[in-house]
């Protein structure tokens, strides 16, 4: 079974900005209930449909499939309740891992989160100096919850 194992952290400062270039992301959720989500994501001219299972610790089942861009844009507009999650994602290599730093826009503006995908839940990682408090266990920081309860409303 395909699995996503990741840890999430708040970001402090902005020294990370010079370490990578960003891509614009837009995503929405067709369904999110009882530990299951169905997400549509557009990055540039590419799009995906992603199905995720219930989070158990820092891991969950994840299935991802490419979508035609026009279909994805229609789904975002017609099937995903607003607000959509908008962010710029920066990929930054650091000591053998690639960190993804998400700078949120729209209703989640002001929030910056770094996440790192792991090969196992006990994998040791080195933390860059710009990584702050860990929020892996705080469901408020899950993208699906940022769509339902945006950072601007906290």
List, by residue number, the catalytic residues: 29
For residues 78 and 82, give the distance between their C-alpha atoms in angstroms, rounded to a whole number.
10
Token match 């099937």: residue? Answer: 79
HEC string of 16-41 equals HHHHCCEEEEEEEEEEEECCEEEEEE
* Contact predicate 153/140, CB 8 Å: no
If phi over 0 gives left and psi between -120 and 50 gives alpha, with beta otherwise, what is residue 73? alpha
């Amino acid at each position: 079974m395909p699995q996503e194992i990741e840890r999430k952290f708040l970001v402090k400062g902005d020294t990370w900005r010079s370490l990578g270039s960003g891509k614009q992301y837009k995503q929405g959720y067709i369904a999110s209930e009882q530990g299951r989500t169905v997400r549509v994501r557009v990055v540039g001219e590419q799009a995906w449909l992603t199905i995720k299972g219930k989070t158990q610790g820092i891991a969950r089942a994840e299935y991802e499939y490419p979508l035609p861009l026009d279909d994805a844009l229609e789904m975002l507009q017609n099937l995903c309740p607003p607000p959509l999650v908008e962010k710029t994602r920066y990929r930054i290599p650091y000591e053998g891992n690639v960190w993804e730093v998400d700078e949120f826009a729209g209703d989640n503006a002001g929030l910056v989160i770094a996440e790192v995908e792991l090969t196992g839940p006990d994998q040791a990682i080195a933390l860059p100096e710009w990584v702050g408090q860990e929020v892996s266990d705080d469901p408020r920081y899950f993208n699906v919850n940022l769509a339902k309860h945006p950072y601007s409303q906290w």
